[in-house]
Amino acid sequence: MATEKDISSTEKLLKVIRSSSSDREKTPPAEGTRKPGFWEQIKHRLPSAKSRRIIGVEIFRDSVNIVFKTRDKYGRRLFRGSRTALPEGVDITHPNFPSFLKAQLRNADPSGKAEIWVCLAPSKGETWNVLVPKVKSGLTNAVYWSARKEKSFDESEYYFDYRITDEVNEKGIQKLAARVSIASAGEISLYKKIFSEAGYSLKGISLPGFVFENLFANRWIDPGDQACAALYIGEDSSYIEIRGRGTALFNRVIKTGRDSILDSLIMEYSQQVSAEDVSGIPPPRDRQEAAEILRRHAGLSDEKLFGMIQPALERLARQLERTIDHSVNVLQNPAPERIYICGGISPLAGLSDFFSQQMGLEAVIIDIPEQDLPAGSEDLLADRHQRLSLVSTTGLAMSSQNTVNFLHTALDRDRGKQALRNANLVAVMCALLFVATGIWWWSARHELEQARVETAALEKRLEQFTPQLTQEDLAEMAGKFREKNHELSRYSRNLYPVAALKEISRITPESIKLLAVRLENANRASGRSREKASVLTLEGFVRSEPSLYETRLTGYLLQLRRSPVFKNPSVVKSGEDTLDSGENVYRFTLNIKLLQV
């Protein structure tokens, strides 16, 4: 029963909404989905240069929704989907569920090449907006600590991600508006395990709020410049979002969903209707039977059925009113002009009329446009219940790079950017080294060529003249020869490391990745003589099957020993290791003596 406080709050809210609506110009009646314009129809018929194949999956207690997005030969985007009931006694934790899921995914895409996205229940995550300073570096840390300041959460139990939505000016200071999200780490691990056991890898895991983002971005929902509210009715909870200015302004998860409505039906059915009143159909014993009655009515009129579920629907409507009231009166956001509904019980006839009467706003049930269904979808077009139940899954199949993905979070993106920056830095340094080496090589060759030219000129002069050579002349010539010989030897020693690096680059196969190359010179005393030795140290890892680690490394050693540049390569240290990305490799350290010039 609604209290006087609830009624007063509702009346105030309706006054705000109606007064805001009356101040605006009248708009034509809204459609549940926007009809594409002429240019969009032309665009749909043009071949697509890049076509992503995506499967959206929503797993419920009693069924699995799967929608496969593809394109026809004209490049037009099409959606093919199904809602399949789970076998009796099977749920998401049952040992037979992965094999059941595998069969459904194979039916959706026999090629197995599509990206797979999964949507969590509303209660398994949370989304809110924060403002962060506009910083040049460390943006992820700034967003993370701003989010922690707003709401405390345990980072070991939740995955964290965000998207920058806008740049705002707050009291003369430029700031960034970020939409941050958290999701249950346990739930994400469960989905990854289930799909892995089914033989598939997940591309993304998201939340219902970003399903709405996809529907708005693809203009399936087009409120124009008006503010609106979006309601996703889940199983144990529902997600409410207030949108305006092209972005989400406020959202809330409430603990009223399809389960509450089915429980209300079970209780009211048992109290109000006898078996004779419904053509011999007994009262529902559980939610599955109640859902079947809700779908087929079981001889009940719309009025009587709504009377049974009305208590739960009124609780949902009051929560929607309070959410709008907080957004309008506390956060000073614009009042919504329309409510868009999907998920849960959205196929129920008369649901939009109920929310329109309760809220004093136009309520629209989101539907799949007929032009986005492939040929042969007459059954889906005729079965309104199945088609409307697939709307949220279809929005998931429209996921893009802007969709929050808890399998590739902001921290992962920062690590990727850092790795790319490091790789670019190494590439630039190597390029500079090669350029410097090339200049030095060209200079040495130029000097050598000049020496050859001078030698040839001297030889020619010797042929023309026969001067008297004295012992002093011969000694002077021998001294100059030794000096020139020492100079050539010096050039050879200076360029020897370059030759060694080039030889290493030539010999090293694709399966061997080098991390460090060091050249060390050491003087070794042996009796009366001193020997100069150059040692080349290689550090790297083998990327291969574990059974081939030592085989690859042994083959690499044999190649080094065959080279005329190196002498006695030996393994200093080796063993299995794991990279930061989680890949298993075989790390090693080699010492190689360089032959002296």
Burial environment of residue 49 by CB neighbours within 10 A (0 to 12, 13 to 18, 19 or more): exposed
Q: Across the 597 residues of the chain, what is the mean pLDDT of every consecutive 10-residue run? A: 43 45 36 45 45 88 91 77 89 93 93 92 92 87 89 89 87 89 94 94 93 88 89 92 89 91 83 54 76 72 79 91 93 92 84 89 89 75 82 91 88 77 86 90 90 88 71 82 82 77 87 86 51 78 89 90 85 88 89 74
B/e letters for 247-263, b = 16+ CB within 10 Å, e = fewer, are: ebbbbbbbebbbbbbbe
* List of residues 6+ apart from 512 with CB closer than 8 A: 540, 541, 542, 543, 552, 553, 556
Bridge partners, 559 (sequence order): none
Residues 288 and 303 in one domain: yes
Phi, psi of 512 (to 5 degrees): -105, 125
pTM of the predicted model as reported, rounded to 2 decimal places: 0.63
How many Cβ atoms sit within 10 Å of the Cβ of residue 91?
13
Last residue of a domain, which of 307, 330, 365? Answer: 365
Regarding whether 157 and 281 lie in a shared domain, the answer is: no
Amino acid of residue 547: S
358/378 same-domain check? no
Look at residue 528 in the predicted model and tell me its pLDDT: 47
Q: Are residues 146 and 244 in the same domain?
A: no
CATH code, 252? 3.30.420.40
**Residues 325, 385 share a domain:** no
Which residues, including other chains, have CB under 8 Å from residue 57's CB and lie 6 or more apart? Answer: 64, 65, 66, 105, 116, 117, 118, 119, 393, 396
* Cα distance between residue 532 and residue 549, in whole Å: 34
Q: Per the domain annotation, does 449 fall within a domain? A: no
Residue with tokens 């039977």: 289
Question: Among 349, 365, 381, where does a domain finish?
Answer: 365
In a domain, 303, yes or no: yes
Co-location of 189 and 251 in the same domain: no
Residue 246 has, within 13 A of its CA and on its CB side, a CA count of 4
Whether 335 maps to a domain, the answer reads yes
Out of 300, 335, 365, a domain closes at 365
Assigned domain for 321 exists:
yes
Q: What is the DSSP letter of 193?
A: H
Q: How far is CA 98 from the centre of its chain?
A: 23
Strand 338-342 and strand 362-365: the pairing is parallel
Dihedral, CA of residue 119, residue 121, residue 126 and residue 128, to nearest 10: 60
205 with 241, same domain: the answer is no
> What is residue 281's predicted lDDT score, i.e. its pLDDT?
62
| Structural domain contains residue 499 | no
Residue 482 domain flag: no
* Contacting residues for 363 by C-beta, under 8 A, at least 6 apart: 338, 339, 341, 351, 352, 353, 354, 355, 356
Whether residue 180 sits in one domain with residue 94: yes
539 touches 550 (CB < 8 A): no
- Which pLDDT value is given to residue 160? 92
Asked if 10 and 60 sit in the same domain, the reply is: no
Pairing of strands 115-119, 204-206: parallel
Cα–Cα nearest to 570, from 586, 587, 553: 553
Q: Is residue 384 part of a domain?
A: yes
Q: Look at residue 247 in the predicted model and tell me its pLDDT.
A: 87
CA distance 116 to 99: 16
Residue 71, amino acid: R
215 and 313, same structural domain?
Answer: no
The pLDDT assigned to 20 comes to: 42
Query: How far apart (Å, rounded) are the C-alpha atoms in residues 244 and 165?
Result: 13
Question: CATH number for the domain including 566?
Answer: 2.40.30.200
pLDDT of residue 523: 52
Residue 527 CA, chain-centre distance (Å), reads 66
Number of domains in the chain: 3
Residues 62, 166 within the same domain: yes
pLDDT of residue 27: 32
| pLDDT in the model for residue 315 | 92
Asked if 99 and 135 sit in the same domain, the reply is yes
Q: DSSP secondary structure string, 161-197?
A: EEEEEEEEEETTEEEEEEEEEEEEHHHHHHHHHHHHH
| Alpha-carbon radius of gyration of the chain | 37
Length of the chain: 597
Would residue 486 count as lying in a domain? no
Q: Residue 390 is encoded by which pair of tokens? A: 């697939």
* Number of other CB atoms surrounding residue 569 within 10 Å: 18
CATH number of the structural domain spanning residue 389:
3.30.420.380
Range of the domain at 340: 1-24+223-365
Partners of 128 in the β-ladder: 180
Query: Does residue 351 contact residue 365 with C-beta atoms inside 8 Å?
Result: yes
